[in-house]
Structures are given as structure tokens and as C-alpha cells.
């Protein structure tokens, strides 16, 4: 048992906890993992603000002892049986740290601020919100939920639900995965990015263009597995360490040309890993590429440092400074929205992390 979780128990027979946790977008991507959700490489993300999950956990001590969990799950007030296996896997992974999980009946109610069918993954924010709700069951006073120790434990637990979920607890930037250039970095939890950030990154914007709303042809779980025997894995993992180190200087100096170059290289490398795994797969759509070309043309033409990044999907995240928001948004509306499914996009920006809901 790691030191972090010595003697965690709950004493109340019943209660209710409620948290909002944000989505995040990685600048340096996590792709590839080992047993127990240990990342194969370090990652660094922007915490978002408007895209979040809200989860309410009702718990009540069970009258009879059982060797299975008792979980009811609702998304937007609709019962969703198909989410329960994922939650049970999460509970299996965290039971060693929260040994009371089989002693309670749980009712979990969750909503996402972004449309369910937008193709935006809710697993990071959803697992982070649930981890926070479960951890709050163990605190002796509510003040404890404001402590760094609480956030670190929540990040540790969220990681076991979804790797990128450990970066959905704090903000505005979170780093996860042990790497020599960041002294307190850990494979076990995300940490608030510890180094100075240039003011140009304050309120940095992320406009998410919804290119494809449907579910992905290949899940992240399978994608991570395919890194196990990937011919370029070793080089890719080494590159991620180098990119984190390079970003430290970029984020400090506010060198936006270097930022654009690195962020786009990371996004394309992630998809290059998918294109070259065995079996290979393509998550980008023709409109993803059309948007990328337009963004590069616009940037060359105007000098505005707007850049793209991608998740494991077809949607495009456009990142730009707050001072360029009007011109960038104008461009998005005029030239890019036509490439989105049902003209759908979501405007977001850097956020400060999870919130306890009263
Ligand atoms: C491409 O966190 O969804 O978004 O740990 O299996 O839940 P699991 O994977 P997940 O992978 C995210 C991959 C990514 C890159 C990133 O967010 O760093």
C-alpha cells in the first residue's frame, strides 16, 4: 500500500457528495501504458473550463454483506446499465485504497456539459468527478477537500479509472508521468504544472470543432495496447520526454512559434502511431485534414499563432491566445464551421480544475 492511502476509511452510514470535474486536452500526449495504468510516457495538458462532468454520489451502508458492488448509474437522469462494467473495473482497481466499496449501495448520477454524442470523451472528466466524490466519503472535515493531499489522492484514484482522468482534477496545466525535467513528476498522479508560465498563456482558448460525433472505430484502450509491440514505440516515448523538456522553456518564454510547432507535431505523432501500429487504424476524417490545411494557410497568411491538436478521434481542438480570440473566431465561423458535423463546435478556454458542488 503506498503511503498516500494509509488508513483511509469512511465512518458515515449514508451521505451524498457532488463534484464537477473538467475535461482536459493534452499538449504532449499519453499513448501507451503498462500494468496498473502506469503511463509509458509523460504527458502535459491544458485543463478546460466549460467542458466538464458533474457527478453526484449517494451512498448508504448495505444491510447485507456481499462480494459484489452495488451500483446504480444514471446519465442525464436516464439509467445507463452499459456504463456499469466500466465503473466496476474502476472499483476493482481502487478497492485496495478504498476498502469500503463493497459495503455500500451507490447511486451515481452524472451529466456532461458537452453533448453526449459530440465525440468528446467524457471518461477523463467523469472518472475524475467520481474519484472526487468517493474520496470525499473518507474526509473527517470538509476543509480537507481543499488540500493538496486530497487533490493528489483524487488524481491517483482517477488515473485508475482513466489515465487522462488524473489530469482532470487541477488546473490550469497538469503534468503526469515521471520525467527528469520536472522534479516532482510521478507516474501515479498528475501534478499542477510547477514552472512559471508566460502571461500569453493565461485564458488560452480552445475551440473544439466537432468533425465526427459517432463513436470511434478503435477505442483508446485498444490503441494503448497496440503501442506494446509498436516498432516506433521506443523512439516515441523518448520524444515525449524531450517534448516536455522543450515545453518548459516555451511556456516560460511565451515563444508561440515554437509552441505551435511542438503542439502540432505531438498531435500528428499520436495519429502517426495509430497509422503505423499493427493492425493500423485511421481516426482522422477527410474534414480533419481539410481543417488542418486551412489552419496552416490562415496562420501563414495572418501571422496569428492559432494551432491544432487532436485527441484519439476526428475532432480538432484549435488553440490560440486570448488576444487573438476575435480574429480566430471570425476565421472559424467563416472558413471552418462548414467542415463540422451539423456545424457544431464548442468554445472553451483554460480552467482552474475541479469544484466541489454544495
Ligand atoms: C489520445 O486516458 O482515454 O487522449 O487510460 O485507457 O482510459 P485510458 O486512456 P485515455 O487515453 C487518452 C489518450 C489521448 C491522449 C491524452 O489525453 O494524453
Q: Give the pLDDT score at 65.
A: 80
pLDDT tens per residue, range 261-319: 999 999 999 999 999 999 999 999 999 999 999 999 999 999 999 999 999 999 999 99
What pTM value is reported for the model? 0.96
Angle at 75 between CA 157 and CA 123, to 5 degrees: 35
Is residue 127 within 8 A of residue 135, CB to CB? The reply is no
User: Which one, of 251, 205, 101, 231, lies nearest residue 161 by Cα?
Assistant: 101
d(CA 352, CA 333): 27
d(CA 281, CA 272): 10
- Closest ligand 1 atom to residue 159 Cα is 5
The two counts, helices (H) then strands (E), for the chain are 8, 14
Pairing of strands 14-28, 70-75: unpaired
User: C-alpha grid cell for residue 313?
Assistant: 478521434
How far does the centroid of ligand 1 lie from the alpha carbon of residue 14, in Å? 33
User: C-alpha grid cell for residue 12?
Assistant: 458515515
Q: Give the pLDDT score at 2.
A: 61
User: C-alpha grid cell for residue 206?
Assistant: 480552445
Pairing of strands 70-75, 104-112: parallel
List pocket residues of ligand 1, CB cut-off 6 Å: 26, 29-31, 37, 43, 121, 123-124, 162-164, 220-221, 224, 270, 311-312
How far does the centroid of ligand 1 lie from the alpha carbon of residue 324, in Å? 29
Per-residue pLDDT of the chain (358 residues; tens, 9 = 90+): 466 776 677 778 999 999 999 999 999 999 999 999 999 999 999 999 999 999 999 999 999 888 999 999 999 999 999 999 999 999 999 999 999 999 999 999 999 998 776 778 789 999 999 999 999 999 989 999 999 999 999 999 999 999 999 999 999 999 999 999 999 999 999 999 999 999 999 999 999 999 998 777 788 999 999 999 999 999 999 999 999 999 999 999 999 999 999 999 999 999 999 999 999 999 999 999 999 999 999 999 999 999 999 999 999 999 999 999 999 999 999 999 999 999 999 999 999 999 999 8
How far does the centroid of ligand 1 lie from the alpha carbon of residue 174, in Å? 14
Q: Give the pLDDT score at 9.
A: 77
Instruction: Say which residues have a Cβ less than 8 Å from residue 152's Cβ, sequence separation at least 6.
Output: 4, 189, 191
User: C-alpha grid cell for residue 290?
Assistant: 481539410
How far does the centroid of ligand 1 lie from the alpha carbon of residue 124, in Å? 8
Structural domains of the chain, ranges and CATH numbers in brackets:
14-197 (3.30.230.10), 201-349 (3.30.70.890)
Q: Give the pLDDT score at 121.
A: 76
d(CA 71, CA 306): 44
d(CA 16, CA 137): 8
- Closest ligand 1 atom to residue 37 Cα is 5
How far does the centroid of ligand 1 lie from the alpha carbon of residue 34, in Å? 13
Amino acid at each position: 500500500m503506498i503511503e498516500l492511502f494509509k488508513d483511509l476509511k469512511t465512518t458515515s452510514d449514508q451521505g451524498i457528495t457532488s463534484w464537477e470535474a473538467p475535461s482536459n486536452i493534452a499538449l504532449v500526449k499519453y499513448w501507451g501504458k503498462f500494468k496498473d495504468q502506469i503511463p509509458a510516457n509523460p504527458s502535459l495538458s491544458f485543463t478546460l473550463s466549460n467542458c466538464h462532468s458533474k457527478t453526484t454520489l449517494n451512498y448508504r451502508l448495505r444491510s447485507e454483506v456481499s462480494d459484489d458492488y452495488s451500483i446504480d448509474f444514471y446519465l442525464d437522469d436516464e439509467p445507463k446499465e452499459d456504463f456499469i462494467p466500466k465503473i466496476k473495473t474502476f472499483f476493482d482497481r481502487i478497492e485496495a485504497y478504498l476498502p469500503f466499496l463493497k459495503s455500500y449501495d451507490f447511486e451515481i448520477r452524472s451529466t456532461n456539459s458537452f453533448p453526449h454524442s459530440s465525440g468528446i470523451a467524457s471518461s477523463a472528466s467523469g472518472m475524475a468527478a467520481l474519484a472526487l466524490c468517493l474520496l470525499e466519503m473518507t474526509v473527517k472535515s470538509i476543509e480537507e477537500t481543499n488540500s493538496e493531499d486530497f487533490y493528489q489522492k483524487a488524481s491517483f484514484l482517477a488515473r485508475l479509472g482513466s489515465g487522462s482522468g488524473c489530469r482532470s482534477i487541477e488546473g490550469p496545466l497538469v503534468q503526469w508521468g515521471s520525467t527528469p525535467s520536472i522534479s516532482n513528476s510521478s507516474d501515479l498522479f498528475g501534478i499542477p504544472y510547477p514552472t512559471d508560465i508566460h502571461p500569453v498563456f493565461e485564458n488560452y482558448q480552445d475551440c473544439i470543432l466537432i468533425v465526427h460525433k459517432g463513436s470511434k472505430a478503435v477505442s483508446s484502450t485498444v490503441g494503448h495496447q497496440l503501442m506494446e509491440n509498436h516498432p516506433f514505440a521506443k523512439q516515441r516515448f523518448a520524444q515525449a520526454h524531450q517534448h516536455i523538456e522543450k515545453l518548459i522553456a516555451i511556456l516560460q518564454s511565451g515563444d508561440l512559434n515554437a509552441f505551435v510547432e511542438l503542439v502540432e507535431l505531438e498531435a500528428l505523432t499520436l495519429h502517426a502511431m495509430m497509422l503505423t501500429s499493427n493492425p493500423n487504424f485511421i481516426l482522422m476524417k477527410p474534414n480533419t485534414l481539410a481543417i488542418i490545411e486551412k489552419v496552416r494557410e490562415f496562420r501563414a497568411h495572418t501571422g496569428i499563432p492559432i494551432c491544432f491538436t487532436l485527441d484519439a478521434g476526428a475532432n480538432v481542438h484549435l488553440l490560440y491566445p486570448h488576444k487573438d480570440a476575435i480574429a480566430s473566431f471570425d476565421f472559424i465561423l467563416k472558413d471552418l464551421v462548414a467542415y463540422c458535423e451539423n456545424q457544431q463546435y464548442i468554445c472553451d478556454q483554460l480552467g482552474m480544475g475541479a469544484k466541489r458542488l454544495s
